[in-house]
Structures are given as structure tokens and as C-alpha cells.
Amino acid sequence: MAMVASLSSMAVGTAAKLKAKPHLLAPKTLTLQNAPSTISFRSYQTLTAISIPSKNPLLPPIKSLPPPLEYEATSGSLKSRLAAGETLYGLFLLSASPTLAEIAGLAGYDYVVVDMEHGSGGISDALPCLRALAATRTPAVLRLPEPSATWAKKALDLGPQGIMFPMVDTPAAAAHAVACCRFPPRGIRGSAHTVVRASAYGLDDGYLTRCEEEILVMCQVESFDAVAEIEAIAAVEGVDVVQMGPMDLSASMGYLWDPGNRKVRKVLRDVERKVLGVRKTRTEADAAAEGGGAGGPYLGGFAMPHDPPEELKARGYHLVAGAVDVGLFRRAAVEDVQRFRLVQTEIGEEEDEFEKPREESYWSE
């Protein structure tokens, strides 16, 4: 029981450090009773009843609770926050670094996209990043290398809150993306829910009843062909987010080196208006229908040097990715080197170190 007490103290200490983020998910507590003692496990993702056999002959076996504990949907999920009208600010993680993922979560980003399309990592690299983000209670989205059922299946089994499908050019491709996130008969997702991380390795009895409603299906529109069918793509049932891809869009229009070209910006504005129009129409129709509905898709986008995140927010975007981890480090590293090299000191000339103003912060800051 000393070990249990120690683990409990660590959990309380960690929770105290994270109080500064008001939107963080509230922890759930799982209690297992074996007279005369009670053991509690804290989880930020699921609430589940499990049974652990006891090898201590002095203690009776630990029994699972008679009725299974009911799962309570977290108020801080991406879908619930979007439904509440929040604009979410995120980061793309290309480095596949769990350390940078953890820093991003602690910094306060609303979500982090672990990028397996342009990033160097794959599924096995994404898993430590998801664990690091879970430790900071920051939702993770996985961007797939390609819009395939195989990649979607492996990504969904890790338990992210969202899946991003790249290069969705047609309504049929959007419908395929949705099907990849649904079990048969509604879709084509393969089933291993009894042993994967998404279901707490089979310990979460309620996983199947809610997983399809909780996952955020994000379809990237990033080609001129997709732009021509944007309203039909946005209208596909089950598409939760239409994510704009300005870099690939500009390349498909012949402006690879000029994503800020006036013609590219004009096309983007037109697409934005159409997606927001589909959302408004669908939301009004669902509100008028008996029982209501989820409404149309949200609009997601990437900030660019010529199109900063605050402008995307002002134009009605619901999810704004403001930076890339590699880009942030590159800029900081280049500025650090330039700052050092710009210091001009005459050879043999020394300054009195006691005359220099004292820095208020550590060198690492």
C-alpha cells in the first residue's frame, strides 16, 4: 500500500502543476475495493471497471465492481468545445518528438496534430507523442500519410481525438474517409477493440458505444480539383472538419513558390465562404428537424506568413493551426546564431564584466 500512496501523491502533485490550464480534461477516478482496503486509479481518458488478481495470500482477491462504471463524456473534448463555439488554436508536430509534444501541451495549445504525412515518424513514433500529450491532457490529432483504410485503422487504434485525411479531392473520397472511421456495417474499419490503446486495451467496456461519435473526422481540401467540388465534399455526412491546405493548393494552381499569390488567396476566400455556407445551412436544417443534429462541418486552416492566425479566426475559422514545431525551432535557432554573430568586439578589447547590465533570466530562456 506504500507504493499506492506514493503514486497517489505523484498524481496530486502533477494535477496541482496543471491547474493553470482551465480547459484541461477533468481526471476520472476508478475505485477497486478489496476489504479492508481501497485502491484508486486516476485516468484522464476513460473510466472503466477492471479486475486484478491478488497474489498475496493474506489478502482476498480483488473483485471488479458489480455494475460496470459508466463513462462520462469529458467536457474538454475537441468536439464539445467546437460545439460550444470555441475557436481552437493548434500546433503541427513534424519532429515526432515526445519532448516537443509535451512542451506544446504544457504551453497551452488546444490541440496538437502529430503529422505522419510530412513528418519523419510513423505509427510507432506517434504513440510516444500521444502519451506525452495525454500526460498534459492535450487532445491529439493524427494526420495520415495517405487517405487509406490501413493507415486509418492503425491510427484510430492509438486513440487520438481526431484523424486528418490528406488530399481529399472528391465527395467519394470524403465518404471513404468517414467509412474508414466506422465499424461495419456503417463502415470498413477493422476491429481489434479488445486489445488496442483506444479502448484502454480492452478495459473500457463503453468504447464501442461512443467511439464513432467522439472521433473528429477531418478532410483536407488542398487541390484545385477539390475546390471545384467543395460544397459536395462539405455536405458529406460524417465529415466534421474541412481542413484547408494552402501550400498544396497553391502548387496545384501553378504557384508552388508563391502561396500568397492573389489568385490563390481569392480561391481560398471563395472556398471558405462556401464551407461556412454549407455549415450554416446544415446547422439551421438540423436545428429545425426533430431531435436536432450536429450541423455542418467546421472550417480548419493553416496560418501562413501572409495570412496570420488572427486573420483566419476573424474570417470564421473554427480550428487554426498557427505553427509547426520544426519551424518554431528553426526560427529560434537562426535568431540565436545571428544574435551572437552580430556582436562586434575589437580584438584585445575587454569590457569590465562588473559594468555589464545583469540579465534577469537564465541563458536557456
Kindly report whether the peptide bond that precedes residue 66 is cis, defined as omega within 30 degrees of 0: no
* Helix extents (H) in the chain: 2-17, 78-83, 98-107, 123-135, 149-158, 171-180, 207-214, 224-228, 230-234, 246-252, 262-288, 309-314, 325-341
147 or 17, higher pLDDT: 147
In a domain, 54, yes or no: no
Number of domains the chain is built from: 1
Q: Between these two residues, 46 and 143, which has the higher pLDDT value?
A: 143
CA angle at 180 for the pair 177 and 182, rounded to the nearest 5°: 115
Instruction: State the CB neighbour count (10 A cutoff) for residue 270.
Output: 12
Q: How far is CA 123 from CA 151, 174, 184, 200, in A?
A: 9, 22, 23, 17
Question: Is 7 within the bounds of a domain?
Answer: no
* Cα→Cα distances 214→104, 181, 316, Å: 23, 11, 23
pTM (predicted TM-score)? 0.77
Q: State the CATH number of the domain containing residue 149.
A: 3.20.20.60
Burial of 303 (0-12, 13-18, 19+ CB in 10 A): buried
Residue bearing cell 490529432: 141
Judge whether residue 99 has pLDDT over 50. Answer: yes
147 within some domain: yes
Calpha distance 231→209 (Å, rounded): 31
Active site positions, annotated: 118
Average pLDDT along the chain = 83
pLDDT band at 343 (very low <50, low <70, confident <90, very high): confident
Structural domain of 205 = 78-339
Domain membership of residue 19 (yes or no) is no
User: Is 306 inside a domain boundary?
Assistant: yes
Please work out, in degrees rounded to the nearest 5, the angle formed at the alpha carbon of residue 156 by the alpha carbons of 204 and 242. 125
Q: Look at residue 175 in the predicted model and tell me its pLDDT.
A: 98
Q: Is the pLDDT of residue 222 over 90?
A: yes
Each residue's pLDDT tens digit, 206-217: 999 999 999 999
- The reply to whether 349 falls in a domain is no
Q: What tens digit of pLDDT does each residue of 150-168 get?
A: 999 999 999 999 999 999 9
The closest alpha carbon to 123, from 158, 76, 159, belongs to 158
Q: How far apart are CA 214 and CA 299, in angstroms?
A: 18
Residue 287 within a domain: yes
Q: Is 221 helix (H, G, I), strand (E, B) or coil?
A: strand
Contact 151, 145 (CB under 8 A): yes
Residue 43 lies in a domain: no
C-beta separation of 96 from 125 below 8 A: yes
Greatest CA separation for the chain: 84
- The C-alpha atoms of residue 257 and residue 252 are separated, in whole angstroms, by 11
Digit-coded pLDDT (tens) for 103-133? 999 999 999 999 999 999 999 999 999 999 9
